[in-house]
């Protein structure tokens, strides 16, 4: 419960911030701490959209991305694009499959997994999600890991 209080404080600490706080997978805790929304796992895409202002989705295939769209998610991360130490057994999509999967999506799709903040050869309109250094640090509750995502696009909007 102590970590819930710390997360709630982080959610309300700076009204000047334009960041949105999406809690990883725990809809009830997101409501309890006043988070802006929740970031659903791929398995949660089979349910209904949570009644929170923002809903993100973790997708690993174009089919999961379509489920996120059908659910009414506001954004999705698709990956891993490349090999990443955080998911050593995952098969990377690669940039071509990522682009094919994200093409024509009705929601913003962010590349995740082994992605560098400035990935060479990916083009100026690519949206990226990168994990911040504290993500997964000792003492960080796993449900807070989505707070460590930094979403960026060349337009500066999402």
Q: What is the pLDDT of residue 48?
A: 94
DSSP SS3 for 7 = helix
Q: Which two tokens stand for residue 27?
A: 């809809």
- Whole-prediction pTM: 0.73
- Report the CATH superfamily, name and number, of domain 2-152: Aldolase class I (3.20.20.70)
* pLDDT tens sequence for the chain (158 residues): 566 566 666 656 656 556 677 888 999 999 988 888 999 999 999 989 999 999 999 999 999 999 999 999 999 999 999 898 888 899 999 988 988 888 889 999 988 888 776 655 555 455 555 554 333 334 434 433 333 444 444 344 43
> What does the alpha-carbon distance between residue 51 and residue 81 come to, in Å, rounded to a whole number?
30
Q: Which long-range contacts (CB under 8 A, 24 or more apart) does 86-94 make?
A: 86/113, 86/131, 86/136, 87/113, 90/60, 93/60, 93/61
């Amino acid at each position: 419960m102590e970590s819930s209080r710390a997360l709630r404080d982080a959610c309300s600490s700076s009204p000047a911030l334009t960041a949105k706080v999406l809690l990883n997978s725990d809809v009830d805790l997101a409501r309890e701490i006043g988070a802006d929304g929740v970031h659903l796992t791929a398995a949660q895409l089979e349910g209904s959209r949570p009644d929170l202002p923002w809903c993100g989705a973790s997708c690993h295939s174009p089919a999961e991305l379509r489920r996120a769209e059908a659910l009414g998610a506001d954004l999705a991360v698709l990956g891993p694009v490349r090999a990443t130490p955080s998911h050593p057994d995952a098969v990377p999509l690669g940039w071509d499959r990522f682009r094919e999967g994200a093409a024509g999506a009705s929601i913003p799709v962010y590349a995740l997994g082994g992605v560098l903040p400035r990935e060479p050869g990916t083009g100026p309109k690519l949206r990226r999600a990168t994990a911040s250094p504290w993500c997964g640090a000792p003492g960080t509750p796993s449900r807070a890991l989505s707070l460590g995502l930094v979403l960026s696009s060349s337009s500066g909007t999402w």
